[in-house]
Amino acid sequence: MRPAPVLALCAALAGTALLTGCGKETAAGAAPAATCASLAPVPDPAGRTWDDVRVVSGKCGPSGAPSTGFEVTNHDDEPLTYTITFTLVNGFGEAMDSVTRTVEAVKPGQTVRRPLDTAGGPGSARGYRARVTKVRSVPAKGASGGADSCPSSGVRITNDRGDAAMGLRVVGIHLVNCSGADYRLDGYPALRLLDADREPVTGVDILHGTAAISTGIGGDPTPRPVTLRPGESAYANLAWRNTTTDGTPVNAPYVEVTARPGDEPVTVTPELDLGTTGRLGVSPWTRTPDDRQPRPDQRPGASQE
């Protein structure tokens, strides 16, 4: 197994980790607006650990004010982009909110510290404990990129949250041409399923088409060439059933998506809970309907006047 990432929350009060806001997250690689000074371990309450995650106390707010932040240390041998989900709970232990933070391109051996804001912003009177509830890390070179950035490949690939009903799961893989040139697709994306340690998942058949999973998804379009102009997008659906019978359920939180032969794979996190069915259906690339395409003023190079 690959070494787990080390993430740490720096709390204002030992054992309480009250969130009172501490400035905005900075761009990847830039120094954060506030630091977490005087770090010290605190007791390890349930729900605030993730593998090697440890809770520390410090001053993370503006001008060293007590507040809460988080820290990521990359123990892998390549740059990683982290997505961390925190659950905010009140003094009674009730979950009040969930926030997600992304830290891009953390170098091997590097520790990156970020403040963690509440919805009320810096100085908010709202106070919640922060718990780390999910950590996902993908190779930085294969990360999908943020909504305001465009990877060197010229396309941005993401997954949606999907739909679930009666054990049937459907998740969309979305590709946006964020370059300044046309981008051509043809057929099906190539997929590689990865477990929580980003190791290959075996024993799952990847089917071209979703009809074998369910006929109620709407049918598969016929594979055909799709040419995307700058700013246009396409999608492919992943479909499976999470039925569990005999055997060990298979979970694949990560999927490497290769949009077309010769492209570099991009790692997304659709969180596949495949049960024991051993099958995953994928539909061909299909142009996104015009009513869901980005507006002209959202396309690369469009006038912002």
Tell me what the pLDDT averaged over the chain comes to.
75
Q: Report if residue 38 sits inside a domain.
A: yes
Q: Are residues 169 and 121 in the same domain?
A: no
| 138: number of Cβ within 10 Å | 20
In a domain, 226, yes or no: yes
Residue 147 lies in a domain: no
Do residues 16 and 65 touch, judged by C-beta distance below 8 A?
Answer: no
Please count the structural domains in the chain. Answer: 2
Say if residue 103 is in the same domain as residue 182: no
Last residue of a domain, one of 111, 140, 169: 140
Average confidence (pLDDT) over 195-200: 93
Within this chain, do residues 111 and 179 fall inside the same structural domain, yes or no?
no
pLDDT tens digits for range 72-115: 888 889 999 888 888 777 777 788 888 888 888 889 988 887 77
Q: Average the pLDDT over 154-180 and give the result.
A: 90
Is the confidence at residue 239, as pLDDT, over 90? yes
Tokens of 288: 């996104």
Identify whether residues 122 and 223 lie together within a single domain. no
Range of the domain at 182: 155-296
One domain for residues 202 and 287 = yes
> What was the pLDDT predicted at 123?
39
**Rg of the chain over CA atoms, in angstroms?**
21
Claim to verify: residue 244 and residue 166 sit in the same structural domain? yes
Residue 301 located in a structural domain:
no
**pLDDT computed for residue 60 by the predictor:** 53
Structure tokens at 207: 């089917």
CA pair distance 25, 41, nearest whole angstrom: 23
Nearest to 46 by CA among 8, 93, 80, 104: 93
pLDDT tens digits along 277-286 = 999 999 999 9
Flag whether 202 is in a domain: yes
Q: Which residue has the higher pLDDT, 6 or 279?
A: 279
What's the rounded mean pLDDT across residues 144-159? 83
71 and 37 fall within a common domain: yes
- How many CB atoms lie under 10 A from the CB of residue 217? 17
